[in-house]
Structure 1
Amino acid sequence: MQAFRNCGLCASGNLLKGRTDFLIARRNMAVMRLSAACVQLLKDKANVFCRSSVHQRLLRLPEVARSNTVAFSVSSSLCAVPFTQVENLSHESLIRRASCLVTDSANTYLSQTTLALVDALTQYAKALHTLIALQKRYITSIGKLTPAEEDSIWQVIIGQRVEVSDRLEECRRFESNWMNAINICELSAEAAYNSGAEHACTATKTNLQVAQCKVEELRTISKEAEKKLAETKAEEIQRMAEYASSIDINDLEDIPEAYLRED
């Protein structure tokens, strides 16, 4: 009898324990279903938001979007739902940005062409001064050189004249590119000003002034060298004429007086 009672108590205890576990399990299942329903609802909302965002992007120009992640806590579980934010850009702002890009490219083109032209003008001025030095040396030695020495120095002078011609042609080629860069910068500065990008317009105009001042400075140096070369050539012609006249006079002095008298 005692054993039967013990068995009955054990059975009732196990039954009660099993019923408690069953209720806990049902509650956990209900929580899980509620969590799943919330997650599904959030996903549906996210899909609707994404579709509306795509529709808005099709109506506007595309913009580099930033992706953010918002975390939701549902019944001790986390759900990350990504979504996209698109800035509301107008046509005016896009044109302003494009004009800034144009001015940046124009400034780069201007800086490169200015550097090339300045270097070409510098080399041209150096070649001119070298030629001036050679011709002055020849002028001071007129009548003092042997035919072989005179021929040698003339070969050097002719070679330097070819160098000057090549440097001048290089200056003209780079100057053509530089003038194109000047025109492009002026147009880009005007476009930036009209679009409202005053800072880009101001920066481009400043770069234009600096480039023009630098090129004008080198042009002045080259023109002064050309002027000195012309003066040297004139001096050379005068000195050669004097030397030729002195040779004629000496030749006349060597002729007997009887040959000089008129009959």
Structure 2
Amino acid sequence: MQAFRNCGLCASGNLFKGRTDFLVARRNMSVLRVSAACVQLLKDKTNVFCSSPVHQRLLRLARSKAVAFSVSSGLCAVPFTQQVENLSHESLIRRASCLVTDSANTYLSQTTLALVDAHTQYAKALHTLIALQKRYITSIGKLTPAEEDSIWQVIIGQRVEVSDRLEECKRFESNWMNAIHICELSAEAAYNSGAEHACTATKTNLQVAQSKVEEIRKISREAKKKLAETKAEEIQRMAEYVSSIDINDLEDIPEAYLRED
């Protein structure tokens, strides 16, 4: 530092005074050259360190931390405004109507599923009875009294099964009709309260449920029609069998052939 000050004095225009001042100046210039060499050496070492992989990683880490800090600082500076929720009477009624439609749709889906399953089981029971009836028709006049009683016990048991399935259909039909009525009322309430989307969704569910139930009802009606045709065929077959035998042999006809179903 003394050398820099002395150099500054030289630059200010002060003249050397005597041999002593000249020697001091030369010594100061030597010190200045040594200092410049040290500064250059430090600069070279710094460049070498900055180009090393370790320094690059440290630099990237420092930059990432700085970016994260700047972003978080920016977020902290952003004022978060919370909107005040609308709690008017209209809004509360609209929310309540949406809840009603959700519950009504759940009730409708469950009752529809139960009714469809009940009609499916009823149709299966009808087809089983039809198969037993046809088997009996083809065996008229070929069975012993014991075999006749055995097959009629199976037919009677299947008829009980059909009756039970029909009662189950009627019970679920009542629940399903209640669900239809509730959904219609909830859809109307949602529309009047301004919840058009809930009204539209409920009406769509109503259409889908009615379509599924009508489809399974059609299957049940077709099965009942086939059963009626089978009974008519059985009556005709019995009449043909009775007319084909001698009247004296009517006492030998099993009681099952003479009963009316």
Name the TM-score, length of structure 1 as normaliser. Answer: 0.63
Q: How much has 1:157 moved relative to structure 2?
A: 0.3
Preserved CA contact (<8 Å) 1:38 1:74: no
Q: How much has 1:122 moved relative to structure 2?
A: 0.1
Q: How much has 1:147 moved relative to structure 2?
A: 0.6
Q: How much has 1:214 moved relative to structure 2?
A: 0.3
- Using CA pairs under 8 Å that are at least 6 residues apart, name the structure with larger relative contact order, 1 or 2: 2
**Structure 1 residue ranges, 4+ long, deviating more than 6 angstroms after superposition:** 1-61, 65-85, 252-263
CA shift in 2, pair 1:195/1:188, >3 Å = same
CA shift in 2, pair 1:6/1:239, >3 Å = closer
Q: How much has 1:248 moved relative to structure 2?
A: 3.3
Preserved CA contact (<8 Å) 2:129 2:159: yes
CA shift in 2, pair 1:72/1:175, >3 Å = same
SS in 1 for 2:85: coil
Unaligned runs of 5+ in 2: none
| CA distances 1:54-98 after superposition (whole Å, capped 9, x unpaired) | 99999999xxx9999999999999999999985342111111100
Q: Percent identity?
A: 92
Between 23-32 and 235-244, report the one with greater CA deviation.
23-32
Higher strand share: 1
Preserved CA contact (<8 Å) 1:72 1:80: no
Give, in whole Å, the separation in 1 of the partners of 2:3 and 2:256: 180
RMSD over aligned CA atoms reads 16.5
Q: How much has 1:238 moved relative to structure 2?
A: 1.0
Preserved CA contact (<8 Å) 1:70 1:81: no
Preserved CA contact (<8 Å) 1:114 1:211: yes
Between 253-262 and 94-103, report the one with greater CA deviation.
253-262
Preserved CA contact (<8 Å) 2:125 2:161: yes
CA shift in 2, pair 1:28/1:51, >3 Å = same
Higher-Rg member (1/2): 2
CA shift in 2, pair 1:243/1:13, >3 Å = farther
Q: How much has 1:39 moved relative to structure 2?
A: 55
Preserved CA contact (<8 Å) 1:96 1:195: yes
Among 110, 114, 117, the residue aligned to 1:116: 114
| CA distances 1:112-153 after superposition (whole Å, capped 9, x unpaired) | 000000000000000000000000000000000011111100
Note the 1:1-263 alignment, pairs <5 A. 87-248=85-246, 251=249
CA shift in 2, pair 1:75/1:189, >3 Å = closer
Give, in whole Å, the separation in 2 of the partners of 1:3 and 1:39: 15
Between 73-82 and 174-183, report the one with greater CA deviation.
73-82
CA shift in 2, pair 1:119/1:258, >3 Å = closer
SS in 1 for 2:75: strand
Preserved CA contact (<8 Å) 1:132 1:232: yes
Preserved CA contact (<8 Å) 2:16 2:22: no
CA shift in 2, pair 1:139/1:94, >3 Å = same
**Count of aligned pairs:** 260
Between 237-246 and 161-170, report the one with greater CA deviation.
237-246
Preserved CA contact (<8 Å) 2:190 2:199: yes
